[in-house]
């Protein structure tokens, strides 16, 4: 089945020229995008790009300054409470309730959605099983590892059977095992038809999970599209990295109109087609320190948002 | 933009109350101890210790033993402290350190409901503490019944007033240490100068006037009257005075919290 057919045309999130200012600072500057039902949509960007501000507006934590934001066909400025009944949110911090046990965290959270206790118990049982936390029910939150806390936050966000799941950096700070476990669960949720919107710093995470994504910087959307297509359009298929390039190689690259980035000690050449260029470079200009690899989303990201530190 | 003091609170604020009650039940044995032991300590210290020095005291023309005089004030002080502590230190910990409010705000709960639930919870803690203290103090025969039962709903009213004041400070203090300011400038003077440990008539007139503005003075008056079995119109005034404090500080607390958390 082709990916594109998987989604109906129902729009779950519609953002039109959404703006957010804090005093003189414009954190989000007129962004527009739509997320369709069943899709996994990513928001990428360096620190301070406006990702978290955007996601906070989506779940009603921050009121929008301007524009229009519709979630599940409801205008957020009119039906926020109704919307919140139908969405699940994983905030960036693990704000689990430290005063409660694992089991109680889910039961108490279910109460916020007016879910009656017997149903909450059933749902908690199911979710703790789904996220591999069944044996941790009576534990206090402080006794959990980082990965388990994150999974509990995810379980909590699913307590109300949300139609839309919003995740702010779902795997930041997790070890590779935990990350892959979270990814696996998210993929499974996606296959059940839940719409997912997430922010992330990890390009592999975005490439792995997202059907479509936007890269933001300085409060604006730079590009939007499917991960593979973005790589093809902005970088190409392959990348050649040359350590300590000599002047002849630089001249050759410059004169032949290849896409490249000169980082001083390193030269990055974006190669559109085959490995012929790599063979030429490695044979004629650099015997060592020359690497040929597939282009990734990270190349797109760095190319579009630059390499200087943000903080 | 919405008006400063417009807010809508559905009965879902009870969910916040329930959350706190769930936590309270987990540690109820520890929660029961202070209101259980505190009156015993005070009655021992003041009844056995200090009253030998003080002897009888004059209050509204009657001669009372010192223990009879201070026992109702102990309840009033507990009402004030229970709610004020809950809605300052405890609420601040939930809001700032545990991010409990952040998690709640991702659910159908609104900030107004969270703040309301917290204040009502603070008042509930005043009621719990009051009931325990009433039992202990009644064992010494220091409360007149059935009038004494009215102290329980009054504990709720007093709790709402002091809790709202506390929540207002929670909305404006930059760090948890700053709570020491309202504690020393507002709560401690009330603890000492609200007719708690000596009759206000002993003070100069100007000090009496200032004391009569303090909400704790009114709570002490009501509870002392009820403990002595007297009902008069001043109880209505004093209760009304506490309600006014609540009606002023409840919207102020809502406004301060909104300013603090909605960004």
What CATH number should be reported for the domain holding residue A254?
Answer: 3.30.70
What CATH number should be reported for the domain holding residue A86?
Answer: 3.40.50.300
Residue A66, chain B, CB below 8 Å: the answer is no
Q: A164-168 and A87-90 as β-strands: parallel, antiparallel, unpaired?
A: parallel
Residue A72, chain B, CB below 8 Å: the answer is no
CB contact under 8 A, A97 and B12: no
CB count within 10 Å of CB A172 equals: 16
Longest dimension (CA), chain B: 63
Q: Evaluate the CA torsion angle B1, B4, B5, B10 in order and state its sign.
A: positive
For all residues of chain A together, what is the average pLDDT? 89
Give yes or no: residues A47 and A154 share one domain: yes
How many helices and strands in chain A, by DSSP H and E? 12, 14
Give yes or no: residues A217 and A144 share one domain: yes
pLDDT in tens, A108-125: 999 999 999 999 999 999
pLDDT at residue A311 is higher than 70: no
**Cα dist. B89→A1, B38, B74, B179 in Å?**
57, 20, 21, 8
Instruction: Give domain status of residue A130, yes or no.
Output: yes
pLDDT at residue A276 is higher than 80: no
Give yes or no: residues A132 and A255 share one domain: no
Of B100, B108, B262, the CB nearest to A113: B108
Give yes or no: residues A89 and A70 share one domain: yes
Instruction: Give domain status of residue A307, yes or no.
Output: no
Eight-class DSSP state of A140: B
Mean pLDDT along residues A191-219: 93
This prediction has a pTM of 0.90
Residue among B237, B224, B200 at smallest CA distance from B74 = B224
Contacts of B108 in chain A (CB under 8 A): 81, 84-85, 112-114
Write b or e for each residue in A23-47: b if 16 or more Cβ atoms lie within 10 A of its Cβ, otherwise e: eeebbbbbbebebbbbbbbbbbbbe
Which pLDDT value is given to residue A7? 54
Mapped onto helix, strand or coil, the DSSP state of residue B127 is: helix
Of A89, A112, A157, the CB nearest to B109: A112
pLDDT bucket at A291, cuts 50 / 70 / 90? confident
Q: Residues in chain B with pLDDT < 70?
A: 1-7
Q: What is the spatial distance between Cα A105 and Cα B26, in angstroms, rounded to a whole number?
A: 13
Q: Tell which of B12, B103, B105, B114 to mutate to test the A interface (max A CBs under 10 Å).
A: B103
Q: What is the spatial distance between Cα A265 and Cα A281, in angstroms, rounded to a whole number?
A: 16
Q: What is the spatial distance between Cα B91 and Cα B101, in angstroms, rounded to a whole number?
A: 9
How many helices and strands in chain B, by DSSP H and E? 13, 2
CA B241 to chain centre: 14
Q: A164-168 and A195-200 as β-strands: parallel, antiparallel, unpaired?
A: parallel
Q: What is the spatial distance between Cα B219 and Cα B226, in angstroms, rounded to a whole number?
A: 11
Mean pLDDT along residues A61-81: 93
Please count the structural domains in chain A.
Answer: 2
The boundaries of the domain holding residue A275 are 236-294
pLDDT in tens, B127-160: 999 999 999 899 988 999 999 999 999 999 999 9
Of A19-23, A24-28, A287-291, give the lowest mean pLDDT range.
A287-291
Radius of gyration in angstroms for the set of CA atoms belonging to chain A, rounded to a whole number: 22
Give yes or no: residues A142 and A74 share one domain: yes
Give yes or no: residues A123 and A200 share one domain: yes
CA A29 to chain centre: 19
Q: What is the spatial distance between Cα A305 and Cα A217, in angstroms, rounded to a whole number?
A: 7
A220 beta partners: A217
Comparing alpha-carbon positions, the chain A residue that sits nearest to B27 is A99
Give yes or no: residues A219 and A242 share one domain: no
pLDDT at residue A283 is higher than 80: no
Highest mean pLDDT among A166-175, A231-240, B43-52: A166-175
What residues contact residue A38 under an 8 Å CB cut-off, 6+ apart? A6, A7, A8, A190, A193, A194, A195
Give yes or no: residues A64 and A126 share one domain: yes
**Cα dist. A95→A18, A85, A140, B12, B161 in Å?**
27, 19, 13, 21, 30
Which pLDDT value is given to residue A3? 46
Give yes or no: residues A211 and A245 share one domain: no
What residues contact residue A154 under an 8 Å CB cut-off, 6+ apart? A90, A131, A167, A170, A182, A185
**Cα dist. B194→A280, B48, B58, B152, B171 in Å?**
92, 23, 16, 20, 26
A270 beta partners: A239, A259
CB contact under 8 A, B98 and A84: no
């Amino acid at each position: 089945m082709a990916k594109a057919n998987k989604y109906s045309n129902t729009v779950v999130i519609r953002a039109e020229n959404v703006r957010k200012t804090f005093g003189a600072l414009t954190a989000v500057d007129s962004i527009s995008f739509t997320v369709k039902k069943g899709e996994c949509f990513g928001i990428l960007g360096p620190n301070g790009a406006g990702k978290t501000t955007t996601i906070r507006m989506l779940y009603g934590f921050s009121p929008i300054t301007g524009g229009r934001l519709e979630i599940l066909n409801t205008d957020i400025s009119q039906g926020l409470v109704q919307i919140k009944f139908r969405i699940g949110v994983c905030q960036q911090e693990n704000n689990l309730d430290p005063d409660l046990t694992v089991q109680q965290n889910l039961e108490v959270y279910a109460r916020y959605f007016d879910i009656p206790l017997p149903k909450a118990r059933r749902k908690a049982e199911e979710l703790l099983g789904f996220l591999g936390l069944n044996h941790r029910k009576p534990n206090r939150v402080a006794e959990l590892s980082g990965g388990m806390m994150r999974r509990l936050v995810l379980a909590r966000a699913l307590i109300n059977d949300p139609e839309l799941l919003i995740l702010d950096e779902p795997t930041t700070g997790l070890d590779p095992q935990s990350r892959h476990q979270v990814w696996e669960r998210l993929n499974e949720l996606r296959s059940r038809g839940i719409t997912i919107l997430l922010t992330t710093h990890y390009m592999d995470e975005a490439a792995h999970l997202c059907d479509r994504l936007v890269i933001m910087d300085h409060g604006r959307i730079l590009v939007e599209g499917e991960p593979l297509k973005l790589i093809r359009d902005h970088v190409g298929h392959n990348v050649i990295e040359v350590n300590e390039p000599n002047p002849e190689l630089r001249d050759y690259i410059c004169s032949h109109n290849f896409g490249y980035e000169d980082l001083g000690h390193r030269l990055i050449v974006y190669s559109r087609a085959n490995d012929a260029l790599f063979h030429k470079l490695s044979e004629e200009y650099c015997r060592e320190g020359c690497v040929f690899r597939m282009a990734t989303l990270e190349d797109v990201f760095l190319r579009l948002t630059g390499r200087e530190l943000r903080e | 933009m919405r008006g400063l003091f417009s807010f809508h609170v559905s009965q879902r604020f009870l969910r916040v109350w329930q959350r706190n009650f769930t936590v309270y039940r987990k540690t109820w044995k520890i929660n029961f101890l202070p209101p259980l032991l505190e009156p015993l300590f005070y009655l021992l210290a003041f009844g056995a210790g200090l009253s030998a020095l003080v002897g009888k005291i004059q209050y509204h023309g009657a001669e009372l033993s010192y223990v009879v005089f201070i026992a109702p004030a102990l309840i009033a002080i507990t009402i004030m402290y229970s709610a004020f502590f809950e809605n300052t230190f405890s609420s601040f910990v939930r809001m700032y350190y545990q991010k409990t409010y952040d998690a709640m705000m991702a659910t159908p709960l609104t900030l107004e409901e969270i703040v309301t639930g917290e204040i009502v919870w603070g008042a509930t803690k005043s009621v719990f503490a009051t009931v325990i203290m009433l039992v202990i103090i009644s064992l010494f025969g220091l409360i007149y019944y059935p009038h004494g039962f009215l102290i329980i709903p009054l504990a709720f009213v007093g709790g709402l007033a002091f809790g709202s004041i506390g929540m207002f400070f929670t909305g404006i203090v930059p760090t948890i240490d700053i709570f020491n300011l309202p504690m020393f400038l507002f709560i401690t003077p009330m603890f000492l100068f609200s007719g708690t440990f000596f009759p206000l008539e002993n003070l100069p007139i100007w000090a009496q006037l200032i004391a009569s503005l303090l909400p704790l003075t009114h709570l002490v008056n009501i509870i002392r009257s009820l403990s002595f079995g007297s009902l008069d119109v001043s109880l209505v005034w004093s209760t009304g005075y506490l309600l006014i404090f609540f009606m002023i500080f409840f919207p102020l607390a809502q406004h301060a919290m909104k300013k603090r958390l909605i960004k």
